[in-house]
Amino acid sequence: MIISHDLGTTGDKATLVSDAGRVVAAVTSTYGTDFGPRGKAEQDAGDWWDAVCRATRDLLAQAAVAPADVEVVSFSGQMMGAVLLDGAGVPVRPAIIWADTRSVAQTATLVEKVGMERGYAITGHRLNPTYSLSKIMWVRDHEPDAFARAEKVVLAKDYVAFRLTGVLATDPSDASSTNAYDQAAGRWSDELLDASSLPGSLFPDIVASTAVVGRVSAEAATATGLAAGTPVVMGGGDGPMGALGAGILGPESGAYAYLGSSSWVSVAADAPLHDPQMRSMTFNHVLPGRYVPTATMQAGGASLEWVIDTLAPGQDDRYGRLLAEAADVQASEDGLYFLPHLLGERSPYWNPAARAVFAGLGRHHGPAHLTRAVLEGVAFNLYTGLLAFVENGTPITAVDAIGGAANAQLLLQVFADVWGVPVTRRNLVDEATAVGAAIVGGVGVGIFDDFEVAGRFSEELTSQTPDGARHDRYAGEYALFMEAYQRLEPWFDKL
């Protein structure tokens, strides 16, 4: 048996997977986020550990599995954050997560010293406040006492692996989400560390995603209910793990869309994809020698969650009701658009100052129209990423959808109509990242021979076929959506 943990934005999902690749049980334990002014987004790393402990104990009890039957524990985790630890491995302050955009000034310093194009060439990513490097610089500049106590900086899954084993490390997939990793050299970038004026000693050793980094300590065994000595495999970032769980192993695998709090479209490749317009970024895959070109927006599923919670707070079946009503109305065809930048934006604009906007509101528009506009706004925004892949030589003929929001059939139909390709939902909509982590753990300890087992972990449940006439109409509405942002961009900077 394998236990994988998916440390997401809203909670930890612990999943028990059999040696045959079957999901036996899953338990989620939630935690909160401290959103504040000027782009603040923080979590208590101790809450991650508490959630992992609760979820593990509950999972073992629910599945009636003996701790000795668990052969390995592995991880998928939220990326692009920063957990600053002292010499004893204790966080010196709350963890700064991916959604935090306060480090605009620090990013400007990196751009001035290195250049945006050079930074993109080194890391596969734009230099941007959503990444770890500038966040660490922000702590140094604004909280010098906390920074003076910091001896290592890790990401979410690294911290929990440390709490289980006492070993501090990270993997290439998470390292590639920091803005501090030289993708060609496969190590921390001297050039970017010099530009940041941060010591290289802050950054942990990089090991393979499949590496057994240690074993569950006696103290951690007491906290989690696991058996002491259970192997712990490093795992990787949630984006590449989602790709693996969706069966996206190489160029032949096609594309997938992840529809969680943040959302992205992605493919797998044998080399980084460097878009001349820098609309996309490239992470290292958890498969050695493979890469995951990705276009990520800050608030995909979060936009849908926000509009439904705002329009129908606390109401039973509010999701189903509002989505059903949204299926019967028009939004962009009726001149109503939603720019889904609730948390600033990554792809394609990389603008932390961007804000969400309803444009074209009329007196006759109601909750159903607003919900429909949000669905279309998310689809339009992700379409830009798909176009970046196509324009750089990666044809997109179909997209597999994973993540919680992929359960909304209307959303998948809107995606298919906007993108002009079939959009498929598989049976592991909610478990893809956790299953990816289970595969990595299984490969790491020899349960699975290779990553190809991903192909038998899921099956297609439904596929939404694009309507050609609607796709043609959406092409014109997509152009207006893009124009709305371009016209509003100077105004965002004044807010």
Q: Is the pLDDT score of 20 beyond 90?
A: no
* Alpha-carbon gap, residue 141 to 155, rounded angstroms: 20
Instruction: Calculate the average pLDDT of the chain.
Output: 93
Least confident of 4-18, 195-209, 257-271: 257-271
* Alpha-carbon gap, residue 470 to 474, rounded angstroms: 6
181, 123 Cβ separation under 8 angstroms: yes
Q: Is the pLDDT score of 430 beyond 70?
A: no
Q: Is the pLDDT score of 427 beyond 80?
A: no
Which residues are CB-neighbours of 433 under 8 A, at least 6 positions away? 6, 8, 76, 238, 241, 242, 245, 258, 402
Interval 107-124 mean pLDDT: 97
In the chain, the domains with their CATH numbers are 2-239 (3.30.420.40), 248-427+465-495 (3.30.420.40)
Q: Is the pLDDT score of 461 beyond 80?
A: no
**62-102, pLDDT tens digit by residue?**
999 999 999 999 999 999 999 999 999 999 999 999 989 99
Q: Is the pLDDT score of 17 beyond 80?
A: yes
Q: According to the model, what pLDDT value does residue 220 have? A: 97
Interval 161-184 mean pLDDT: 97
DSSP per position, 1-65: -EEEEEE-SSEEEEEEE-TTS-EEEEEEEE---EEEGGGEEEE-HHHHHHHHHHHHHHHHHHHT-
Scanning 312-408, the segments in alpha helix (DSSP H) are 318-326, 367-391
Residue spans of beta strands (DSSP E) within 206-271: 212-215, 231-233, 236-237, 255-259, 263-267
* Alpha-carbon gap, residue 163 to 72, rounded angstroms: 15
Amino acid (1-letter code) at residue 212: V
Model confidence band, residue 314 (pLDDT cutoffs 50, 70, 90): confident
164-193 b/e (C-beta count within 10 Å ≥ 16 → b): bbebbbbbbbbbbbbbbbbbeeeebbeebb
Q: Is the pLDDT score of 346 beyond 90?
A: no
Q: According to the model, what pLDDT value does residue 139 have? A: 98
Q: According to the model, what pLDDT value does residue 260 have? A: 79
27, 95 Cβ separation under 8 angstroms: no
End-to-end CA distance of the chain: 52
Interval 416-426 mean pLDDT: 92
Helix H or strand E segment including 469: helix 468-492
Model confidence band, residue 429 (pLDDT cutoffs 50, 70, 90): low
φ, ψ for residue 84, nearest 5 deg: -90, 125
Q: According to the model, what pLDDT value does residue 47 have? A: 97
Q: According to the model, what pLDDT value does residue 393 have? A: 87
Interval 259-286 mean pLDDT: 89
**22-68, pLDDT tens digit by residue?**
889 999 999 999 999 888 999 999 999 999 999 999 999 999 999 99
Model confidence band, residue 404 (pLDDT cutoffs 50, 70, 90): confident
Dihedral over alpha carbons 207, 209, 210, 216 (to 10 degrees): 80
Q: Considering only CA atoms, which of 346, 399, 409, 337 is closest in space to residue 374? A: 337
Interval 224-245 mean pLDDT: 94
pLDDT greater at residue 404 or residue 479: 479
φ, ψ for residue 24, nearest 5 deg: -90, -45
Model confidence band, residue 428 (pLDDT cutoffs 50, 70, 90): low
Interval 447-455 mean pLDDT: 86
Query: What pTM does this model have?
Result: 0.85
* Alpha-carbon gap, residue 28 to 8, rounded angstroms: 10
Q: How far is CA 392 from CA 20, 110, 214, 357, 386, in A?
A: 38, 27, 41, 30, 10
**240-265, pLDDT tens digit by residue?**
998 898 887 888 778 889 887 889 89
Q: Is the pLDDT score of 388 beyond 70?
A: yes
DSSP per position, 117-161: HHHHHHHSS---TTSHHHHHHHHHHH-HHHHHH--EEE-HHHHHH
pLDDT greater at residue 403 or residue 271: 271
With pLDDT > 70 as the criterion, what percentage of the chain qualifies?
Answer: 99
Lookup result for tokens 């989690």: 224
Within 10 angstroms of residue 253's Cβ, the number of other Cβ atoms is 18
Interval 220-226 mean pLDDT: 97
**136-149, pLDDT tens digit by residue?**
999 999 999 999 99
